[in-house]
Amino acid sequence: MKSRTLFFLFLTIFFTWACKQKPVPPEYTIQKSSVADSAMVVSPHPLATEVGVAVLQRGGNAVDAAVAVQFALAVVFPRAGNIGGGGFMVIRRQDGAVDAIDYREKAPLAADRDMYLDSAGNVIDGLSRLGHLAVGVPGTVDGLIKAHRKYGRLDLASLIEPAVQLAENGYQLTISEVNRILTYQEEFKEANTVKNVFIRDTLYEGERLVQKDLANTLRRIQINGREGFYAGETADKIVSEMKRGNGLITHEDLQQYEAQWRTPLSGQYKNYRIIAMPPSSSGGVALLQMLEMIEPYPIADWGFRDVRTVHLMAEAERRAYADRAEYMGDSDYYDVPLLQLLDSAYLDDRMLDFSLDSATVSENILAGDFKLLKESFETTHTSIIDPDGNAVSVTTTLNSNFGSKVMVGQAGFFLNNEMDDFSAKPGVPNQFGLVGAEANAIQPGKRMLSSMTPTIIEKNGDLFMVIGTPGGSTIMTSVFQVFLNVAEFGMDLEEAVNAGRFHHQWLPDQIRVEKGALDQALLDQLRALGHDIREVERMAVVKAIHVLENGKLHGVGDSRNPDDDAKGY
Ligand code: DON
């Protein structure tokens, strides 16, 4: 009798366990494309999108929603959503006034320009990407709090509360997150000295991920604001983590960190006004340069997949990235020649050697061949329009998936590996194959150059588009192409976002083309002009909102990320 009872007990336990292990896709409704009358949120995760929509529904504005979404993404999109990273936010108010905040990470005060070089002066592979030395001083929390203080309508604690709840009670993992978390197990083990909830042998779709440490950290921010992160217990935990892993960030680094308000760049392309991020991102400059360089050419008449169009755009991209490598860095530390880089006469001159008959050659090749790393990249972008017509475009990142892979012990959040965005040595490519020079050399307290391009576009003075994307070096070219797909090639936003893309970044001297984006005949024509072509799986994951002529809002999440979600009302 006793053994029968034991047997049934065993069966029950086994059955419960077996059921628990069974993958059950979470019942999230994901809308890739959505049209609404008054408000729209597009983010990389349905739970974060829903947090943003709920904030708007209870009277918050676009900045409130952006803040709440960013904190939520730190929980439900841990591979890139963050409080241990940084980003950029571009704001356009309903009355047309624009603003931008730069909360990019900074090099620690103990950083040194040669910190990633060995005694022979060669870059030590991986040191700026994995582990504690890769971490820049995080900017997200200060940036979000400053943005909220200037523009927010609702109480900050209430905007952080949904994130606290998601961390405290857990949320169901989508298959895309499960795969990412499992992919990085070896690196998590290598980079961390303290066990955390991301280090595990198994994980299944639909499993509920509870993050108690993160919930406690978020509560400290809720209660103490900036000080809840840059001082007190959280700061102590960050500094202890750095000490355990021989990292550089100190209490002084954290106390000194300040996000910066910046005047957004503003440039005209035909009857469109492009409002974008100035340095420490290169995104706005590159986007404006590319648009100015192609403006004289009749690309709409040539057509979307005409060889002249693709060739012209690739050549404009090549020239913008060549300037990026030489001239762009943190303008607080390096005198970036912004006026010159955006001067029309200069940009006309840049195209003097452009020929429809042949590819230009990227001269002075400083770097070796671009190494395609096994590492994959992840950043996160959110586009929001509120019922009053205020718009926010915000891109934030840990850089690589889960950043440095270091989670702050007992604080529950990953730290970025943004130091890799500096030029570790002139001409030596970073993980995106981007090269840089003095302008982007490492200096204590300096921000590393970014490609993030959160952008807002007006047409004839009215709000037209909110757009941005992850994608490392391919961010600017993706924003460039999706905008042109709508503005020049008459595509509906969904078609525009999902259309295949191509990318030229000067070095390596090749056009990267998404599989299937250009047909064989077009690829042959480009090769005949002298272009080297490399096929890649996918690039960038655009999230955008298009204000339609009837005033409705069309939000689109990219089909390249299964979890991208656009919802409005
Ligand atoms: O700031 C930058 O340009 C990079 N750290 C962005 C990284 C990124 O987009 C990775 N994502 N896909």
Q: Which residues line ligand 1 (CB under 6 A)?
A: 377-379, 397, 399, 418, 421, 450-452, 470-472, 475
In total, the chain counts a number of residues equal to 569
Index of the ligand 1 atom closest to the CA of residue 473: 3
Quick one: pLDDT at residue 6? 72
Low-confidence ranges of the chain (pLDDT < 70): 1-3, 7-22, 363-377
Nearest CA to ligand 1 atom 2: 450
Q: Which of 105, 399, 447, 479 to mutate to test ligand 1, by most ligand atoms within 8 A of the CB atom? A: 399
Nearest CA to ligand 1 atom 1: 450
DSSP three-state, residue 75: helix
Quick one: pLDDT at residue 379? 85
Q: Report the 3 state secondary structure along 287-342.
A: HHHHHHHHCCCCHHHHCCCCHHHHHHHHHHHHHHHHHHHHHCCCCCCCCCCHHHHC
Question: How many whole angstroms from 504 Cα to the centroid of ligand 1?
Answer: 16
Question: How many whole angstroms from 249 Cα to the centroid of ligand 1?
Answer: 21
Quick one: pLDDT at residue 23? 77
- Using an 8 Å Cβ cutoff, are 443 and 109 in contact? no
What confidence tens digit (pLDDT) does each residue in 269-320 have?
999 999 999 999 999 999 999 999 999 999 999 999 999 999 999 999 999 9
Question: How many whole angstroms from 452 Cα to the centroid of ligand 1?
Answer: 7
Question: How many whole angstroms from 11 Cα to the centroid of ligand 1?
Answer: 49
Quick one: pLDDT at residue 316? 96
- The rounded distance, in Å, linking the Cα atoms of 416 and 121 is 25
Quick one: pLDDT at residue 493? 98
Index of the ligand 1 atom closest to the CA of residue 469: 9
Quick one: pLDDT at residue 396? 98
DSSP 563: T
DSSP 421: G
Q: Which residues contact 1 (CB under 8 A, 6 or more apart)?
A: none
Using the structure block, give the residue that is written with the tokens 């209870």.
58
- Using an 8 Å Cβ cutoff, are 564 and 32 in contact? yes
Max intra-chain CA distance, the chain: 93
Quick one: pLDDT at residue 371? 43
Quick one: pLDDT at residue 296? 98
Nearest CA to ligand 1 atom 11: 378
Question: How many whole angstroms from 106 Cα to the centroid of ligand 1?
Answer: 15
Index of the ligand 1 atom closest to the CA of residue 448: 1
- Torsion angle of the four alpha carbons 418, 286, 142, 542, in this order, in degrees rounded to the nearest 10: -80
Using the structure block, give the residue that is written with the tokens 């083990």.
189
Q: Which of 435, 452, 476, 537 to mutate to test ligand 1, by most ligand atoms within 8 A of the CB atom? A: 452
Quick one: pLDDT at residue 11? 64
- Using an 8 Å Cβ cutoff, are 159 and 68 in contact? yes
Nearest Cα to Cα of residue 129 among 476, 373, 366: 373
Index of the ligand 1 atom closest to the CA of residue 104: 1
Q: How far apart are the first and last CA of the chain?
A: 61
Index of the ligand 1 atom closest to the CA of residue 283: 3
What confidence tens digit (pLDDT) does each residue in 443-502 have?
999 999 999 999 999 999 999 999 999 999 999 999 999 999 999 999 999 999 999 999
Index of the ligand 1 atom closest to the CA of residue 541: 12
Pairing of strands 511-514, 533-536: parallel
What confidence tens digit (pLDDT) does each residue in 383-412 have?
999 999 999 999 999 999 999 999 999 999
Nearest CA to ligand 1 atom 5: 399
Q: So which residues are the catalytic ones? A: 379
Using the structure block, give the residue that is written with the tokens 């891109």.
395
Quick one: pLDDT at residue 364? 45
Question: How many whole angstroms from 451 Cα to the centroid of ligand 1?
Answer: 7
Quick one: pLDDT at residue 378? 75
Nearest CA to ligand 1 atom 9: 472
- The rounded distance, in Å, linking the Cα atoms of 62 and 380 is 17
Nearest Cα to Cα of residue 441 among 111, 27, 87: 111
pTM for the whole structure: 0.95
Q: Which residues contact 19 (CB under 8 A, 6 or more apart)?
A: none
Q: Which of 432, 453, 512, 539 to mutate to test ligand 1, by most ligand atoms within 8 A of the CB atom? A: 432
Question: How many whole angstroms from 377 Cα to the centroid of ligand 1?
Answer: 7
| Residues forming a β-bridge with 441 | 423
Quick one: pLDDT at residue 32? 98
